[in-house]
């Protein structure tokens, strides 16, 4: 269905409703370590996708609501919700813009508790997370001399326990507000770049309020055609009743290099001191023959979980096929996914990401690896508040013929360091799908899912799931 948007934006809007029906079988319907029960599940999933692109307007939405009916354990019957939406409108040409984003998903409340193998309602360890972000921005270029931006963003995150057993602590809803002013040199300065940014943020997390005010000056100077020297200096003020803000506030600074020897290689690295410790930022990409792309990233900082979700939602992009993806790994976007248990604390974090994408005529391979460490600044119990998690995902797609494709995915998540043994554990995931395109609007799918969750304290919980499904777009 194609509709015309208001003439001010001159865009066409494509609205595509869909309906999917699936029959699934699981060998562990209650996600238990012993006395496993099998069951059949009938799922009906109405969905909606919306795409719009035109002068001054870009909109994308993908949403599906799934209802699961269990043959034996009908006490688990219920709805699931998965959706992502992003929209940007140029309200006043070259001046005023409005950006809005939203995400709803169901995630494990704890990485070390029992998980389900595939899409279905669960008896335990599930949270429904809803995150929204909206805000206007004023942007203007002063010829080729300078660019200025003044922006505001309002974020909200809510979490609701779903399932029969509330074995996961439900974090308080949070509300965040962030304002930012930035001015930088324009394209007229080819060899020297400078910028100043001031940012103020507030996150209300139930009974606690986190505030952060920062000022940052950045300078970059080319010393060779492909090399630039970088430097930055600034000041932070952090306040939160649960932490000692003085330890993470104060003057910070650092420097590094930017090396871009060709269009296919770009590396930036900076090191300094911030938030009372070492601060390292690295981003590098390299492409080989237009087939293989490798990227590495390392960043550190201070954040609340609400800010982490909002920033991840802000980074979501759409690929050439219109799918919502993480811009770094190019895997399906999951802005509220986390290897850690949900919390309303303030954290210092370090995160390293590696991504490799290989694309051939009929095959696509994606490898994504992540190592994350975060320290709960408000936790002073025995063992401290530092937790480290590693994750690896491998996804392979092979086109058997034009209307038939196979997809395999493997994953490992490991919380290998935590304040207590009860917070450590790892999980294996595997999946295999065969998709047949019957016609441009109808798809048949056969799939297999496996998960094995192994906490350091407690028994392993495994599940196998088989599914047959059909999807029709209208």
pLDDT tens-digit series, residues 209-248: 999 999 999 999 999 999 999 999 999 999 998 888 999 9
Quick one: which of 214, 273, 206, 215 has its CA closest to 242?
Answer: 206
Q: With CA atoms as reference, report the closest residue to 272 among 320, 327, 216, 191.
A: 216
Residue 226: both structure tokens together: 């492909």
Closest to 281 measured CA to CA, from 262, 267, 294: 267
Q: Which fold has domain 2-473?
A: Maltoporin; Chain A (2.40.170)
Tokens of 324: 């919502």
The residue among 78, 81, 69 whose CA lies nearest residue 39 is: 69
Distance CA 56, CA 89 (A): 5
Q: Is 155 exposed, middle or buried (0-12, 13-18, 19+ CB in 10 A)?
A: buried
- The answer for residues whose C-beta is within 8 angstroms of residue 451's C-beta and 6 or more apart is 115, 116, 117, 427, 428, 429, 430, 462, 463
Q: Residue 6 pLDDT more than 60?
A: no
Residue 392 has a CB neighbour count (10 Å cut-off) of: 15
d(CA 299, CA 349): 8
Task: Name the residue with tokens 């919502």.
Answer: 324
Quote the CA–CA distance of 306 and 189 in Å, as a whole number.
37
Long-range CB pairs of 234-237, under 8 A, 24+ apart, other chains included = 236/212, 236/274, 236/275, 236/302, 237/211, 237/212, 237/213
pLDDT of residue 457: 87
Contacts of residue 290, Cβ cutoff 8 Å, sequence gap at least 6: none
Cβ burial, residue 2 (10 Å; 0-12/13-18/19+): exposed
Which residue in 451, 337, 449, 314 sits closest to 109, CA to CA? 337
**Least confident range of 203-212, 375-384, 388-397:** 375-384
C-alpha span between 89 and 91 (Å, rounded):
6
- Report the range of poorest mean pLDDT among 30-34, 48-52, 124-128, 179-183: 124-128
Where do we find the tokens 């990401």? 353
- How does the average pLDDT of the chain come out, rounded? 91
**390 touches 414 (CB < 8 A):** yes
Give the three-class secondary structure for 200: strand
Residue 406 has pLDDT above 80, yes or no: yes
Q: Please list, residue by residue across 276-293, b when 16 or more beta carbons sit within 10 angstroms of its beta carbon and e when fewer do.
A: beebbbbbebebeeeeeb
Q: How confident is the model at residue 384 (pLDDT cuts 50, 70, 90)?
A: low
Q: Report the C-alpha gap between 248 and 239 in whole angstroms.
A: 9
pLDDT digit string (tens) for 51-83? 988 888 999 999 999 999 999 999 999 999 999
Backbone angles phi, psi at 74, to 5 degrees: -70, -5
What is the reported pTM? 0.89
Residue spans per domain, the chain: 2-473
Residues 257-261: contacts with CB within 8 Å, 24+ apart? 257/227, 257/228, 257/229, 257/230, 258/220, 258/227, 258/228, 258/230, 259/226, 259/227, 260/226, 261/226
- Which tens digit of pLDDT belongs to each residue from 77-104? 999 999 999 999 999 988 999 999 999 9
pLDDT band at 167 (very low <50, low <70, confident <90, very high): low
Instruction: Check pLDDT > 90 for residue 13.
Output: no
Q: 157: number of CA atoms within 13 Å, CB side?
A: 28
Structure tokens at 203: 């996150």
């Amino acid at each position: 269905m194609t509709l015309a948007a208001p003439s001010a934006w001159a865009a066409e809007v494509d609205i595509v409703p869909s309906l999917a029906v699936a029959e699934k079988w699981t060998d562990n319907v209650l996600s238990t370590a012993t006395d496993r029960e099998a069951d059949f599940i009938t799922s009906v999933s109405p969905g909606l996708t919306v795409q719009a692109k035109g002068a001054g307007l870009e909109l994308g939405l993908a949403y599906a609501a799934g209802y699961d009916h269990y043959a034996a354990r009908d006490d688990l019957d219920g709805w699931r919700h998965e959706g992502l939406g992003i929209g940007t409108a140029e309200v006043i040409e070259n001046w005023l813009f409005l950006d809005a984003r939203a995400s709803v998903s169901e995630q494990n409340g704890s990485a070390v508790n029992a998980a389900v193998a595939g899409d279905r309602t669960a008896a335990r360890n599930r949270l429904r997370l809803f995150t929204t972000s909206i805000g206007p921005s004023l942007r203007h270029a002063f010829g080729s001399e300078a660019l200025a931006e003044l922006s505001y963003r309002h974020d909200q995150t809510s979490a609701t326990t779903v399932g029969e057993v509330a074995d996961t602590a439900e974090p308080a809803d949070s509300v965040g507000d962030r304002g930012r002013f930035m001015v930088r040199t324009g394209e007229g300065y080819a060899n020297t770049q400078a910028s100043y940014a001031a940012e103020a943020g507030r996150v209300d997390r139930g009974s606690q309020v986190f505030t952060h005010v920062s000022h940052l000056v950045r300078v970059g100077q080319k010393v060779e055609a492909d090399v630039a020297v970088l430097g930055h200096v600034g000041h932070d003020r952090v306040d939160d009743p649960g932490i000692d803000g003085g330890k993470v506030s104060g003057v910070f600074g650092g420097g590094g290099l930017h090396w871009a020897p060709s269009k296919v290689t770009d590396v930036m690295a900076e090191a300094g001191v911030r938030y009372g410790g070492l601060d390292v930022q690295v981003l590098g990409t390299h492409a080989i023959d237009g087939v293989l792309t490798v990227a590495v990233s390392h960043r550190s900082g201070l954040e609340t979980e609400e800010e982490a979700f909002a920033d991840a939602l802000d980074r979501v992009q759409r690929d050439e096929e219109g799918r919502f993806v993480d811009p770094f790994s190019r895997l399906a976007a999951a802005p509220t996914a986390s290897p850690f248990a949900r919390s309303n604390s303030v954290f210092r974090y370090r995160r390293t990401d590696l991504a490799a994408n290989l694309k051939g005529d009929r095959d696509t391979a994606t490898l994504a690896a992540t190592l994350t460490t975060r320290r709960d600044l408000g936790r002073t119990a025995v063992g401290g508040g530092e937790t480290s998690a590693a994750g690896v995902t491998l996804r392979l797609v092979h086109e058997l013929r034009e209307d038939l494709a196979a997809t395999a995915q493997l994953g490992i998540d490991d919380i290998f360091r935590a304040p207590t043994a009860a917070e450590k554990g790892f999980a294996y995931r595997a999946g295999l799908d065969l998709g047949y395109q019957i016609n441009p609007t109808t798809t048949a799918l056969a799939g297999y899912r496996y998960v094995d969750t192994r906490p350091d304290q407690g028994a392993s919980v495994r599940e196998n799931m088989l599914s047959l499904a059909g999807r029709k777009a209208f």
